[in-house]
């Protein structure tokens, strides 16, 4: 709103001085030139590279050397927040963090193995991903609770897209090298998003789209687990529901071993039961946190004891002990698939960031502090770049593990370091133990994590509030389920942008009326009590960008109204419309088509013998109307700061005419 | 603007009655429910199929039969405007129309032959296209001056796109059948645009895009004429500048005959000279109108007399006398290329409509009447459907011929009928004469029509007013010139829509200040004289759609400001910000992300101990804030109709707090 006013009689209104009041009419046309496109771009880019003072005012006095040192310290603290919170870190916090880290590791180890399986990698790669990225994040990240490592959706994304280039079963070496290349590029993209302050790119996936996408991905991941749960040998590489159901249907005709199904189901029920207990009795939450680990141990011991693998129960078999090996040589940036890898990397980078920032923000808001989106992107990006060099795939913040970390009382990212070290010890000492772990138990661990991704209540709320948003949500869901992950994302993005275009396209014109006894003009549709001024028709253009897509519609709507008013009021004894006031207060910007529409409206009104006035244009609009000579055509005297002034002037002018006649 | 007010002291302000003033606060929350998505869609669709009363009020009394008859008459008049203007048609108008029609034909015949050549069809097809579509348009169209027939840009579009499917030189029959199929489909698309009131689709090509597109197309068409002008035998099928220059360069190494170039250039100079005379001396405009016909006659006679065709001057040769043959059997709607034809047809339909409506509107505005866009679409569509059945290709309104028709004093579409009949007579009697017409003279006729398509002044004006619009213009120009016609269109559309997205994305938040001595709140950047209220920070959100793409940016900008205010004013003796007023008057719509942002801002302000108030939300925003319980969280008492009221309430509350302390 360019200008609005309290009700005149308001008792608290400030003392009124006629002499001090500036001439509002001159103010509109003499308003300063808005920043040009070039200045705006320079401003945005400049801001991106200026280091921000982090709250603490850098002293105004002092010599050059201390200021320089303090600037370096500030910059370092900016990049490594650990330097800031590390100083106040206490032994008590450390004790909490160690407990939280151990709990986290007990959940993280089985999940990592399961997600590696989902990403079609050997189990150790999931564990590697739980070692390096959390360490890097611990010194660079701003979230205190987030647990970094492999997550379900990104694992699915990677495998579903990369296996179109290389088959993980037939050529695991090429597949792995593509995975590391994608991870490296995803990290580079994330770092550049952070450096260039492109955090807004994450917003392109709206909340509604994420709700639908996550729910679709959860069902797809669940369907993929049927392979492990049923112990199938043949399965499809497609992720859509139709292919998977077909594959399961045809595989069930082969001989299959109910042992797998039995193991998977019983441990799934066990994990879900412990989670139920954990939710019911808050102090037993750790039961649900360690139940996956217990499941792995129990099932492995059981299979080893009964030699069930000889009777058709599928086991992991491929295990490889030891620290993360270097994978720098497996990253191929000038290979034949680099363009495809870059495409996959950008999708993974955005999805991973979206998840991490959503998780981080929700827990930060519980604890009452703020995440810095750009720093988070830097931290995530460097974690993934470092990860890609040490045999990790794309890591991000996991919702389920972050919740456990939070409940276990984590105070800082030290819990991530503790988890990382625990996983490292597991990699060194206990890897051989995993040889007999049944695949079905991994499936049940993944399955047990999925319900958290499906948020039916949120979808229902979206439906209640905004039908178009629900359409985005539904589009993402159906696209992921029946097409593929990329199709789901493309549909969601398409609907989201179409929403903006449609919103710009809808004719947004409101006839205004005066609220009785006040000088407030408001839409007569929204406030039916408002009364129309008989001979002046104030019309508000309700779009922030009067442009090619809506200019004609708005123009025709206005001309139709004015003609309607003129025609219907001709015969009756009602006063004829003598002036139209166009309220441009909502119009932030205008393009040449919008200016042409204003000219056409003016021409049409002149031909009908009606005066046109413009009220409260924004500075961009003023500037462009001046340059394109719309101001000259309409007349400088007919541009006002408020609708009220414009209406008064029109009434005065029409009275003058009436007297002359 | 949701509400605005005149300066309080305005002498013409109406008498003020406190008792009559409604309680504005209650009004906001009790405003009626806005129409739902379903109601809006039903409204738009319903409006599309409801016949509109054409100005004359259908009497309120009267029996059923006469009303029904008058309804039929109105509907008929609606479809065939000739029934409306035909009644008042006078002999004098007819005399003017006959003269205009004959002048039009003298320009139309050579142009039609030339454009047929550009469309890679035999000359008679251009003439056919000047017979049937003008007749249909004459009874259905609403423009009085427009001249219907083949035009340069559509001819280029057709040939450049269809020759990718079938080679017009090697397989002319298939090529022709594709041309008729495309024409038929284009007509069907245009009819459906008219029926479903999709006129706004034409607006998707903004004025700036059309300026660039037309200029690019004119240069491409000019380059294509080098073949005829130089009498080349080998030429390229590509339309981009690089290919054409290469083709001309390599062809110039072959033996070529300067006779072609001599004929072409001399008649081009002749036509341009007559046009210069016509512009200089208004009463000689007919000289420029008939100069192409004179050129054809002179050059044909010259070639016939000197037998120059034996010495390398290329002549038309293929001529076929007689009326339009039926081409219904050549339209293949279930052939293998139907999908491609439909794609080409929709591009041609939109371009043809864009040109016709632009031409029609500009002349209608000179004569002071209004075109009905939807009726024009119907008329054009039926013209092309009928044309496709009678060997015509896509026809539309030609700018150069419409200008001649207008200057020759056309009063109605009867001049189109006169032209059509004249072309018909030519087809019957004078076709054999065209055998010896040199190709070079056709090239010079087309070339002479091109400068009208390049509007450098307009491009300069666009640059001056709006740089982003100029980018659209330039994109279309460069795309057509160096890519192809479709690439140019795609680039223009892409930039245009990106413009809307970028506009939505830019953070649009303004701090408001009170204009001294008034109750007007306005942006302190636009009006630096406005002063900020010390303890209340009013902020206007300047976007009409607070949605996923801008919600986070806006939220962060607001929180940053508030924190900045709190932090910088803490140490000093300035009053601390105690309340923030969010002015939502520009926000027409809001989605779930926008609502979440409002909630987050509220949460953040509460944590800083700052009161939040919302001023003048639109009805969509009110409705959604109610459903999503944002109203409950902010508090019903903190939602106001104007910024002024909100600021007063905040001031009163903070005074209250101050007293309590």
B31-70 pLDDT tens trace: 777 777 777 777 666 665 554 444 433 344 444 556 777 8
What is the domain count for chain A? 2
What is the distance in angstroms between the Cα of B465 and the nearest Cα belonging to chain A? 6
Report yes or no: B552 at the A interface, CB cutoff 8 Å: yes
pLDDT 10s digits, A102-140:
989 988 998 999 999 899 999 899 999 999 999 999 999
Domain at A555, CATH number: 3.30.750.24
Contact between A232 and A260 under an 8 Å Cβ cutoff? The reply is no
Q: Tell me whether strands B148-149 and B521-523 are parallel, antiparallel or unpaired.
A: unpaired
Q: Does B652 touch chain A (CB under 8 A)?
A: yes
Question: What phi and psi values does residue B640 have, to the nearest 5 degrees?
Answer: -125, 165
Q: Tens of pLDDT along B88-109?
A: 888 888 998 998 999 899 889 9
Q: Do B503 and A547 touch (CB under 8 A)?
A: yes
Q: Kindly report the nearest CA distance between residue B293 and chain A, in angstroms.
A: 37
Domain end position, chosen among B446, B479, B499: B499
Residue A487 burial (10 A CB sphere; 0-12, 13-18, 19+): middle
Over residues A367-383, the mean pLDDT reads 86
What single string gives the DSSP state of each residue in A157-196?
HHHHHHTTTS-TTT-HHHHHHHHHHHHHHHHHHHHHHHHT
Residue A492 lies in a domain: no
Q: Residue A439's pLDDT is what?
A: 87
Query: Do the beta carbons of residue B386 and residue B140 sit within 8 Å?
Result: no
Are A81 and A371 within 8 A, CB to CB? no
Length of chain A: 661
Contact A157, A351 (CB under 8 A): yes
Q: From the CB of residue B556, how many other CB atoms can be counted at a distance below 10 Å?
A: 19
Structure token digits, residue B454:
């390049």
Residue A32 lies in a domain: no
Q: Looking at the structure, do residues B430 and B475 belong to the same domain, yes or no?
A: yes
Q: What angle do CA B31, B36, B39 make, to 5 degrees?
A: 120
Phi, psi of B149 (to 5 degrees): 165, -170
Rounded to 5 degrees, what angle do the CA atoms A133, A136, A138 make?
105
How confident is the model at residue A24, as a pLDDT?
65
Under the banding of pLDDT at 50, 70 and 90, the label for residue B234 is confident
Nearest Cα neighbor of B593 from B585, B601, B583 is B601
Q: How confident is the model at residue A48 (pLDDT cuts 50, 70, 90)?
A: low
**What's the pLDDT at B57?**
39
- Coil vs helix vs strand at B546: strand
> Looking at beta carbons, which residues of chain A come within 8 Å of B552?
199-200, 203
A521 to chain B: closest CA residue: B3
Q: Residues B259, B229: contact at Cβ < 8 Å?
A: no
Q: Is B18 on the interface with A (CB under 8 A)?
A: yes
Q: What is the overall mean pLDDT for chain A?
A: 84
Cβ atoms of B70 and B58 within 8 Å: the answer is: yes
Give the Cα separation of A4 and B519 in Å (integer): 7
Query: Quick check: B541 and A544 in contact, CB under 8 A?
Result: no
Please give the residue that has the higher pLDDT: either A465 or A54: A465
Q: Check: CB of residue B522 under 8 Å from CB of residue B563.
A: no
- The alpha-carbon gap from B467 to the nearest alpha carbon of chain A, in Å, equals 8
Same domain, B531 and B479: no
CB contact under 8 A, A544 and B643: no
| DSSP 8-class letter at B254 | S
Which residue, among B362, B356, B290, has the nearest Cα to B111 in the 3D structure?
B290
Question: For the purposes of burial, counting CB atoms within 10 Å of the CB of B89, is it exposed (0-12), middle (13-18) or buried (19 or more)?
Answer: middle
The alpha carbon of residue A295 and the mean position of all alpha carbons in its chain are separated, in whole angstroms, by 35
Average pLDDT over chain B reads: 84
**Least CB–CB distance from B16: residue in A8, A588, A607:** A8
Cα(B339)–Cα(A49) distance, integer angstroms: 50
Query: What's the start-to-end Cα distance of chain B, in Å?
Result: 38
C-alpha torsion sign, points B8, B12, B14, B18: positive
- Paired sense of beta strands B611-615 and B579-583, if any: parallel
Residue A489 covered by a domain? no
pLDDT at B569: 53
Number of Cβ atoms within 10 Å of the Cβ of B486: 16
pLDDT tens, residue by residue, B250-262: 887 877 778 888 8
User: Could you write out the DSSP letters of every residue in B433-491?
Assistant: GGGG-BHHHHHHHHHHHSGGG--HHHHHHHHHH-HHHHHHHHHHHHIIIII-HHHHHHH
The H or E element that residue A76 is part of is: helix A64-79
* Dihedral sign, Cα of residue B628, residue B630, residue B636, residue B641: negative
Closest CA to A239 of A222, A251, A256: A222
- Residue A388: how many CB atoms within 10 A of its CB? 28
What pLDDT does A65 receive? 58
pLDDT in tens, B186-207: 999 999 998 887 877 778 888 8
Residue A14 has pLDDT above 50, yes or no: no
Cβ contact A395:A148 at 8 Å: yes
Q: Does B527 lie at the interface with A, CB-CB under 8 angstroms?
A: yes
Let me know whether B447 and B561 are in one domain: no
pLDDT score, position B13: 39
What local confidence, expressed as pLDDT, does residue A656 receive?
64
pLDDT number for residue B612: 92
Looking at the structure, do residues B578 and B481 belong to the same domain, yes or no?
A: no
Q: Which of A17, A32, A520 sits opposite B642 (nearest CB)?
A: A520
In a domain, B441, yes or no: yes
* Residue A602 confidence class, pLDDT cut points 50, 70, 90: very high
Predicted confidence (pLDDT) per residue in B174-183, tens digit: 999 999 999 9
Please compute the mean of the pLDDT values over residues A46-53 and round it to a whole number: 52
Give the percent of chain A with pLDDT over 90. Answer: 28
Quick one: tokens of B48?
């599309």
Name, in order, each residue with C-beta under 8 angstroms of B183's C-beta and a sequence gap of 6 or more. B345, B348, B384, B387, B388, B392, B393, B394
Q: Cα B32 vs. chain centroid, distance in angstroms?
A: 36
**Helices (H), ranges, A368-438:** 373-389, 399-407, 414-429
Instruction: Give the domain-ending residue among A425, A457, A489.
Output: A457
Of all residues in chain B, what percent carry a pLDDT higher than 90?
Answer: 28
Tell me, yes or no, whether B42 lies in a domain. no
Residues of B in contact with A603 (CB under 8 A): 365
Answer yes or no: is B27 within a domain.
no
A522 reaches B (C-beta below 8 A): yes
Domain shared by B485 and B604, yes or no: no
Closest listed residue to residue A154, CA positions, set A399, A396, A475: A396
Confidence at residue A61, expressed as pLDDT on a 0 to 100 scale: 42
- d(Cα A74, Cα A50) in Å, to the nearest integer? 13
How far apart are the C-alpha atoms of A622 and A54, rounded to whole Å?
38
- Residue with token string 């926000």: B587
Residues B494 and B618 in one domain: no
Taking residues A367-381, report their average pLDDT.
Answer: 85
Within the 164-203 window of chain A, which residues sit less than 8 Å (CB to CB) from chain B? 199-200, 203
Chain A: closest CA distance from residue B125 (Å): 36
Q: How far apart are CA B214 and CA B202, in angstroms?
A: 15
Can you tell me the mean pLDDT for B596-604? 91
Residue A221 three-state SS: helix
Residues B491 and B511 in one domain: no
- Residue-wise pLDDT for B332-387, tens only, equals 888 888 999 999 999 999 999 988 988 888 888 788 777 888 888 999 999 999 99
pLDDT, residue B84, reads: 80
- Greater confidence, A300 or A69? A300
| Distance set, CA A71 to CA A39, A63, A74, A77 (Å) | 27, 12, 5, 10
Look at residue B326 and tell me whether its pLDDT is greater than 70: yes
Structure tokens at B419: 């032209």
Is the per-residue pLDDT at A461 higher than 80?
Answer: yes
Helices (H), B535-609: 548-571, 592-607
Contact call for A22 and B515, based on CB within 8 A: yes
Nearest to residue B121, comparing CAs of B338, B394, B323, B378? B394
Chain A from 418 to 477: CB within 8 A of any B CB = 461-462, 464-469
Give the tokens for residue A324. Answer: 């993360």
Q: Is the CB of residue B141 less than 8 Å from the CB of residue B414?
A: no
Copy the structure tokens of residue B538.
């009013």
Q: How many residues does chain B have?
A: 661
Tokens 């015949």 locate to B109
**pLDDT of A571-585, one tens digit each?**
554 557 889 999 998
Are B490 and B525 in a shared domain? no
**Residues spanned by the domain of B642:** 506-660
- The residue-averaged pLDDT of A19-33 equals 65
Chain B residues close to A357, C-beta within 8 Å: none
Q: What's the longest Cα–Cα distance across chain A?
A: 110
Q: Chain B closest CA to A464's CA: distance in Å?
A: 7
User: If residue A149 lies in a helix (H) or strand (E), which one and from where to where?
Assistant: strand A148-149
Residue A475 has what pLDDT? 94
User: Is A564 among the domain residues?
Assistant: yes
Confidence of residue B609 (pLDDT cuts 50, 70, 90): confident
Name the DSSP class of B310: G
Q: How far apart are CA A550 and CA A542, in angstroms?
A: 11
Residues of chain A in contact with residue B471, where contact means CB-CB under 8 angstroms, are: none
* Nearest-Cα residue of chain B relative to residue A12: B648
Chain B environment of A1 (Cβ under 8 Å): 1-4, 521, 540, 583, 585-586, 615-616, 643
**B32 contacts on A by Cβ (under 8 Å):** 525-526, 528
Please judge whether B519 and A645 are an interchain contact, meaning their C-beta atoms are less than 8 angstroms apart. no
Instruction: State the pTM of this model.
Output: 0.81
Give the span between the Cα atoms of A477 and A472, in whole angstroms: 9
Contacts of B37 in chain A (CB under 8 A): 467-468
B572 pLDDT higher than 60: no
Quote the CA–CA distance of A34 and B466 in Å, as a whole number: 13
pLDDT higher than threshold 60 for residue B310:
yes
Residue B8 confidence (pLDDT): 40
pLDDT tens for A182-197 read 999 999 999 999 888 7
**Which residue from B minimizes the CA distance to A619?**
B526
User: Per residue in B412-425, pLDDT tens?
Assistant: 889 999 999 999 99
3-class state of residue A28 by DSSP: helix
Sign of CA dihedral A619, A620, A626, A627: positive
User: B70 in a domain, yes or no?
Assistant: no
Residues of A in contact with B461 (CB under 8 A): 592, 628
Residues B184 and B148 in one domain: yes
Contact A549 B615 (CB under 8 A): no
Mutate to test the interface with A, among B5, B30, B607, B643 (most CBs of A within 10 A): B5
Residues B135, B164: one domain? yes
The mean per-residue pLDDT over the stretch A470-477 comes to 94
In SS3 terms, B141-165 reads as CCCCCCCEECCHHHHHHHHHHHCCC
> Which chain B residue has its CA at the smallest distance from A28's CA?
B527
In chain B, % of residues over pLDDT 70: 90
Confidence of residue A25 (pLDDT cuts 50, 70, 90): low
**Domain co-membership, A452 together with A570:** no
- A527 C-beta neighbours (distance < 10 Å), count: 24
Q: Tell me, what's the pLDDT at A199?
A: 74
What is the C-alpha separation between B538 and B520, in angstroms, rounded? 12
pLDDT tens digits, A239-254: 888 988 888 888 878 7
Average pLDDT rounded to a whole number, residues A524-534: 83
**A 584-603: CB under 8 A from B:** 585-586, 588-589, 591-593, 595-596, 600, 603
A518 and A443 in one domain?
no
Of A396, A423, A457, the last residue of a domain is A457
Looking at residue B404, what is its pLDDT?
86
- For A254, the 3-state DSSP assignment is coil
């Amino acid at each position: 709103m360019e200008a609005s006013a309290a009700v005149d009689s308001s008792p608290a209104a400030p003392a009124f001085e006629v002499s001090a009041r500036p001439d509002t009419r001159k103010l509109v046309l003499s308003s300063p030139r808005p920043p040009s496109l070039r200045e705006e771009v320079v401003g945005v880019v400049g801001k991106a590279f200026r280091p921000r003072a982090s709250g603490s005012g850098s002293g105004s006095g002092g010599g050059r050397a201390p200021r320089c040192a303090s600037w370096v310290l500030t910059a370092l603290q900016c990049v490594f927040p650990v330097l800031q919170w590390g100083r106040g870190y206490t032994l008590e916090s450390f004790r909490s963090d160690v407990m939280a880290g151990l709990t986290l590791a007990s959940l993280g180890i089985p999940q990592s193995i399961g997600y590696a399986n989902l990403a079609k990698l050997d189990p150790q790669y999931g564990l590697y991903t739980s070692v390096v990225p959390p360490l890097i994040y611990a010194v660079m990240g701003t979230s205190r609770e987030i647990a970094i490592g492999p997550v379900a959706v990104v694992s699915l994304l990677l495998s579903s897209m990369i296996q179109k280039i290389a088959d993980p079963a037939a050529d695991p070496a090429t597949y792995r090298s593509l995975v590391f290349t994608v991870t490296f590029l995803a990290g580079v993209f994330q770092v550049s998003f952070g450096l260039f302050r492109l955090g807004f790119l994450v917003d392109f996936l709206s909340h509604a789209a994420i709700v639908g996408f996550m729910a679709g991905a959860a069902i797809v991941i669940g369907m993929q687990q049927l392979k492990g749960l049923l112990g199938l040998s043949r399965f499809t590489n497609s992720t859509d529901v139709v292919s998977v159901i077909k594959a399961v249907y045809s595989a069930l005709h082969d001989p299959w071993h109910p042992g797998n199904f039995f193991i998977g189901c019983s441990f799934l029920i066990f994990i879900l039961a412990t989670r139920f207990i954990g939710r019911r009795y808050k102090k037993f939450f750790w039961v649900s946190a360690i139940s996956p680990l217990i499941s792995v141990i129990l099932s492995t011991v059981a299979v080893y004891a009964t030699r069930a693998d000889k009777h058709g129960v599928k086991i992991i078999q491929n295990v490889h002990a030891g620290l993360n090996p270097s994978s720098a040589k497996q990253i191929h940036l000038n290979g034949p698939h680099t363009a495809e890898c870059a495409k996959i990397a950008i999708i993974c980078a955005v999805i991973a960031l979206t998840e991490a920032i959503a998780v981080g923000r929700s827990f930060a808001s519980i604890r009452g502090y703020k995440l810095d989106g750009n720093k988070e992107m830097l931290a995530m990006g460097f974690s993934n770049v470092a990860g890609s060099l040490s045999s990790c795939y794309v890591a991000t913040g996991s919702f389920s593990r972050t919740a456990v970390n939070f409940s276990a009382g984590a105070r800082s990212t030290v819990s991530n370091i503790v988890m990382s070290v625990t996983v490292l010890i597991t990699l060194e000492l206990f890897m051989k133990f995993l040889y007999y772990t049944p695949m079905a138990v991994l499936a049940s661990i993944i399955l047990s994590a999925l319900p958290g991704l499906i948020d039916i209540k949120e979808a229902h709320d979206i439906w209640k509030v905004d039908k178009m948003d629900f359409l985005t949500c539904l589009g993402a869901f159906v696209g992921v389920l029946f097409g593929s992950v990329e199709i789901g994302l493309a549909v969601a993005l398409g609907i989201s942008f179409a929403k903006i275009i449609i919103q710009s396209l809808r004719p947004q014109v409101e006839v205004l009326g005066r609220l009785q006894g006040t000088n407030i003009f408001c839409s007569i549709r929204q406030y039916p009590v408002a009364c129309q001024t008989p001979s002046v028709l104030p019309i508000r253009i309700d779009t922030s960008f009067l442009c090619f897509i809506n200019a004609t519609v708005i123009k025709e709507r206005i001309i139709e109204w004015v003609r309607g008013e003129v025609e219907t009021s001709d015969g009756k004894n009602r006063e004829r419309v003598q002036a139209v006031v166009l309220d441009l207060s909502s119009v932030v910007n205008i393009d040449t088509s919008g200016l042409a529409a204003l000219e056409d409206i003016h021409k049409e009104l002149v031909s009908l013998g009606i005066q046109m006035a413009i009220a409260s244009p924004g500075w961009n609009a003023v500037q462009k109307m001046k340059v394109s000579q719309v101001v000259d055509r309409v007349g400088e005297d007919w541009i006002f700061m408020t609708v009220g002034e414009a209406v008064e002037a029109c009434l005065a002018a029409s009275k003058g005419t009436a007297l002359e006649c």
